[in-house]
Structure 1
Amino acid sequence: MARTRRFAAGTVAEAYLALLKNRGIGRLFVNAGTDFAPIVEAYARRPVSGLDLPEIVVCAHENLAVSMAHGAHLGDGRPQAVMLHTSVGTANAVCGVLTAARSRVPLLVTAGRTPLFEDGAPGARDAGIHWAQEMYDQAGMLREFVKWDYELRDAVQVETVVDRALDVARTQPAGPVYLTLPREVLARPANGVEARDGPAAVPVPASPDPDAVDRLAAHLAGARHPVVVTASTGADPRTAPLLDELCRRFSIGVLEHKPRYVNVPSGHPLHLGYDLGPVLAEADVLCFLDVDVPWTPGSGEPRDDAIVVQCGPDPHFGAYPIRGHRSDLSITTDTRGLLTTLLSALDDRAAAIDPDRRARLAGTARRNRERRRETLATAALSGGPIDKTFMNWALGEVRPDDGVIVNEYWARPEFLGGLAPGAYFNSPPAGGLGWGLPAALGVRLARPDRTVIATVGDGSYMFANPAACHHAMRAHGLPVLTVIAANGRWAAVENSALTMYPGGHAAAAGEISAFACLEPVPAFEKYAEASGGHGERVTERAGLVPALRRGLRAVRDEGRPAVINVHCA
């Protein structure tokens, strides 16, 4: 039976914060405003109250706060908490919340609420902005992206509300939740709040249906060219060795489709690479493990006679308004549970597996590895301007064994062999720019013993509010190496127009459209220098590897952040 504990809290704010820490929330990422007065007082009163409260991580912009919390979850696997300033802070944070939602990251996103009362109660309105900032439905801004939203209304609710929020956020598919905190409620006396003591129970994920697993095992065992396709299974690093074992033992090809994590070792003997097109043409069984967009209609689809299986906590991604990819078998399950069960189910069917298919799959995997090696070798030896392939080669030359890469543009896992689970995080599926650098800070905060490298473009660096990010690096002691591929354009905008209108006027113009142009490119390295860090601009191939080494030295030996601004074709 759970033990009940009385929290020695004077106010609801103190009780709320103490309960967060009691439930395992170790950090509170904040961007404060006038609604924070009871929170500020709660932290100032700690020498008197003796309460154990979450560590405060002050962030100079809301996108930094939410994306840094996102990165901290990537770093330690725990839910994180954020507090923003009323409606305006929430508005600035919506992109980060959308990014966390599509990445299934459990965040408790909270915000103050404009005071309820015009006067007469502790915490009532005392500034002109309290009228202008109030909304009829503050949570409506992000309701589509959160799993739950609510408003704290009284001290007697604190335990129920906190536990409900964390329970919903962590239940698979995980995601952010939103809680508003009126100033008057936070300022009320706590009246001896009692609550169950200890961390909240973690919801147990759904187990796969045994009959469905048996059907999947039969399809995989009887196939001539079976392939497992994954993008995000490595969100739980414990799945990587299971997927590795499954494909090795039972001669199943594995392909990483726009991977966001290290899902399986790149050197796996049956790793078919990162290009889905050839696999769609060959595979007679395709098992998609938690892949939100299995293929792009019109660019290639599975064979008509292929068996298509979709698996995951929400295999059809119900939060996406439209998603018409076919599925002959859908299994609702967490990936680790499925892989564990599938290993056992295939043991019983191993004798039925075609003995020749391992050699066929291994041959394809070997040819793919050879092509990647040739591509890197060519990039290393050829001359001309710096391109992204050369940048990947250079990063591979200097990446330390403890390095963790947080990518929002150019770093590709296929060119950075030897990445262990948890050593690579790629852009979330929603594509809201400005995630990468703040997320890298969150990873560094959660893993202070690792070297964190943020690989971004000039556009994503500007969207990250770099002044706020470098301020946080200095304020919280989070040295990160940031490597910018500065090509002076929005590549996604340009490529989209040229793809849709290959013979159009934009293509014939022979120059970058004004919609895609970022010129003139600022001296981004100066952001690091302005915050006491190391900054360099690189324009020639011969200078890149030495500059990266100097940047790593600044981060690892001197404890200073570094920016390497690379002029890239």
Structure 2
Amino acid sequence: MVLTTSSLFFHTLVQVGIDHVFVNWGTDHPAMLEELERQRATYGAHTLTIVTSPNEMVALSAAHGYAQVTGKPAAVIVHVECGTQALAGAVHNADKGRVPVLIYAGASPFTTEGEHRGSRNEWIHWMQDVHDQPAIVRQYMRYTAQIGSPESLPHQVRRALQIATSDPKGPVYLWARRETMEQEIDASLLERPITLAKWPTVQTPALSPSAVREIADALVGATSPLLITSHLGRNHGAVPVLVTLSHALALPVFVTCASATNLPTSHPFLVGFSYLNAGSQTPLLKSADVVLVVDAEMAWIPMNKDKEGAYERPSETARVYVIDSGDPLRRNIGMHHYDTDLVCHADAAVALTQIQEAIGTRVANEFSRRTVRIQEMHRAWKAQLDTTESFQVAPSPYTTPQIVSTLRKVINARGIARESTLILNESISSYPQVWSHMQPEMAGEILGSGGSSLGWALGAGVGSVLGGRVAKKGKDNAGYELVAAIVGDGTFLFGVPASAFWMAMRYQTPFLTIVLNNGGWKTPKLSMLGIHPTGHGAGAVGDQLTVGFGPECPDYSQIAVAATNGWAWGRKISVSVAIATDKSAEVLLRETIEEAVRVVVEEGRCAVVDCVLESI
């Protein structure tokens, strides 16, 4: 029996609690493949769950979704510098989303004449040898290191995971030459204890006493306070604390650039969602005298103006306080700044609890008047949502509110519990509408990637179903009953659907995909209109602007069907299909989504509904 550094690597992953590895094999992994077969021959099974991933970005997106759901890292194995580059935008998403993932890549052999086992014996070993492989991803990683010997490997893996799981959490990258991973080792290396017991995650700090006093006093004395957050809800323990604090202070909450469920939609002081397009900021920001920003990606965009031409930012006299659990100064961003009175590095749940305790029973007369005013804003917002969900009498293209609300109603009608449901939102130009119309109530009910590189949701669908089972999610602790990804048509293609749906079939991870099909990339067109509202392109359609996919768009649902040899179910619907089948658009949409949900829940297969919207 030959044991190698690769044997020790897999053994170490198991010992430190990693159980799923998303892999894309190459010529740098012979020792790993041999080790897996040794395990099969010796134990009858692998010690790790190996998830074959035909595309590297899908592999990392799946690991990303897995980590979001379970709260613990998965591992990704890729091939030399080529596979490292093929991780593509998923690296950005894991970084910006603060998701802990351990990435391992092999590297071309460094010997050429058989000096060590694993020496160069294929022509690509010369072509794939670059002078600084980790530089490809270093600025996105929390830690990069070369594994130089089997003896150092357990320490490097534990150091990498300690950093990956400490705020600001994020991906780490280890790499090794082929000869290193082929090196024979003594069995005693596998007998030593390898745990994380003495490699703890760094504890996130609390607010200083002076910061607690200043923020609490400011909130109690405020006439028009406002709290803004993006991803406070990644820490599930912070959500009930925010609920309590908001009630206590009649504190309105506005969510910008959401990537987590931060507050129940029914909460009377939630006043809306925005991804900060000009004119979409809450009017409360301009009138606020105290603004508390907690775990926000961006709280406002300084140059944006509303319809009246007023800047959508705090007044110069407003007091602004920023609390962030990871990196409040955004050191990895070239330019980032708010005019603030206080910037604090603190855990959101801890900080808000401190503020709540400091406020105690202090109540101002303004609270009751503010309560009435903010609750009326919340009711008006919800009523406006209801209005946009309705179907017009005259046939017209489907809208995102109609589609998303129909999905919500179908889920409710089937009696699928909220804790058994997960929505993955990568709808881009429809981001805020999905958050609003799905109406989440529980922490973790809806997730976004946390980044801006498109193509996360399909891979995350695979990873989140796997992670849901491991984390015993759902009403019966058996995993989610329904995972649904809501994506744009451009996002669907970025997600490498052939690989993602094949993986779903191979590993029996069924999820529903709703494609919001507007015929191309709407966001670039909106960006152009934001700078050139009356320019040459203002009246141009998407295909003319070269941002469209027409006139003959792909049949997205059948891509999934073909990739799985008929295992996945798919259907394309539009108002014209409704007319042709003598059904109302509303009935066709409801029946199609009902059938799609049934396929996923009862038959355990993926389902894709391609919903045609108004074309760009």
CA contact (8 A) 1:434 1:461 kept: yes
1:385 paired with 2:382, answer no
Quote the offset at 1:360 in angstroms: 2.4
Distance (whole Å) between structure 1 residues aligned to residue 12 and residue 334 of structure 2: 36
Equivalent residues of 1:9, 1:15 under 8 A apart: no
Which of these residues, 84, 87, 97, is aligned with residue 93 of structure 1? 87
CA contact (8 A) 1:221 1:353 kept: no
CA distance in 1, matches of 2:20, 2:607: 25
Which residue number in structure 2 is paired with residue 109 of structure 1?
Answer: 103
Matching residue of 2:457 = 436
Alpha-carbon offset, residue 499 of structure 1: 1.5
CA contact (8 A) 1:250 1:346 kept: no
Instruction: Single out whichever of 461-470 and 289-298 deviates more from structure 2.
Output: 289-298
Residue 187 (structure 1) aligns with: 182
The equivalent residue for 2:235 is 236
Paired position in structure 1 for 2:594: 549
Counterpart of 1:455 in 2: which secondary structure? strand
Choose 553-562 or 248-257, whichever is displaced more.
Answer: 248-257
CA distance in 2, matches of 1:86, 1:419: 43
Residue among 505, 508, 521 paired with 1:490: 521
Question: How do 1:116-127 and structure 2 match up within 5 A?
Answer: 116-118=110-112, 119-127=114-122
Alpha-carbon deviation of 1:406? 0.4
8 Å contact from structure 1 (residues 113, 134) kept in 2: yes
The whole-number CA distance in structure 2 between the counterparts of 1:37 and 1:558 is 38
Deviations 1:291-326 (A, max 9, x none): 121111211111111111111121121111111222
Residue 424 of structure 2 corresponds to residue 406 of structure 1: yes
Per-residue deviation, residues 484-536 of structure 1 (Å, max 9, x unmatched): 11111210111111121011111144664433111121111212322111111
Give the secondary-structure state (helix, strand or coil) at the position aligned to 1:265: coil
Structure-2 change in CA distance of 1:306 and 1:195 (3 Å) = farther
Paired amino acid for 2:201: V
> What is the aligned partner in structure 2 of residue 16 from structure 1?
9
**2 CA distance for matches of 1:545 and 1:380?**
15
1:286 aligned residue: 291
Instruction: Compute the displacement of 1:568 (Å).
Output: 1.3
Residue 257 of structure 1 corresponds to 256
1:53-86 deviations in Å (ceiling 9; x for gaps): 3211110100110000000011111112111011
Greater shift, 286-295 or 503-512, is seen at 503-512
How far residue 483 of structure 1 moved from its aligned partner, in angstroms, is 1.0
**Tell me, what secondary structure is at the counterpart of 1:82?**
strand
Distance in 2 (CA, whole Å) between partners of 1:346 and 1:383 is 54
Q: Secondary structure at the match of 2:273?
A: coil
| 1:167 aligned counterpart, secondary structure | helix
Q: 1:314 is matched by which residue type in structure 2?
A: D
Counterpart of 2:474 in structure 1 is: none
Deviation at 1:258, TM superposition (A): 2.5
Amino acid paired to 1:298: M
Measure the CA separation in 2 of the matches of 1:76 and 1:9: 34
User: Equivalences for 1:63-462 in 2 at 5 Å?
Assistant: 63-118=57-112, 119-191=114-186, 192-193=188-189, 195-200=192-197, 201-275=200-274, 276-299=281-304, 300-312=312-324, 313-347=326-360, 349-350=362-363, 354-377=367-390, 379=391, 383-399=395-411, 400-401=416-417, 402-409=420-427, 410=430, 412-429=434-451, 431-448=452-469, 449-450=479-480, 451-462=482-493
* 1:398, distance to aligned residue in structure 2 (A): 1.2
Aligned position for 2:557: 525
Query: CA, structure 1 residues 526+113, in 2 after alignment: closer, same or farther (shift >3 Å)?
Result: same
C-alpha separation in 2, matches of 1:439 and 1:561:
14
Deviation at 1:428, TM superposition (A): 2.5
Contact 2:484/2:511 (CA < 8 Å) preserved in 1? yes
Report if the CA contact (8 A) 1:205-1:333 is conserved: yes
Distance in 1 of aligned mates of 2:156 and 2:47: 17
Number of residues of Structure 1 aligned to a counterpart in Structure 2: 560
The corresponding residue for 2:605 is 560
Identical-pair percentage? 27
Matched with 1:4 is none
Whether contact under 8 Å (1:20, 1:53) holds in the other structure is no
Change in Cα spacing, 1:221 to 1:380, as seen in structure 2 (3 Å) is farther
The answer on whether the counterparts of 1:167 and 1:202 sit within 8 Å (CA) in structure 2 is yes
Three-state SS of the structure 2 residue aligned to 1:505 is coil
- Structure 2 length as normaliser, TM-score? 0.87
1:32 is aligned to 2:25: yes
User: Does the Cα contact within 8 Å between 2:253 and 2:270 map onto a contact in 1?
Assistant: yes
Runs of at least 5 residues in structure 1 that lack an aligned partner in the other structure: 1-7
Helix, strand or coil: the match of 2:104? Answer: strand
CA distance in 1, matches of 2:508, 2:540: 48
Q: Following TM superposition, by how much is the alpha carbon of 1:418 offset from its aligned partner in structure 2, in angstroms?
A: 4.2
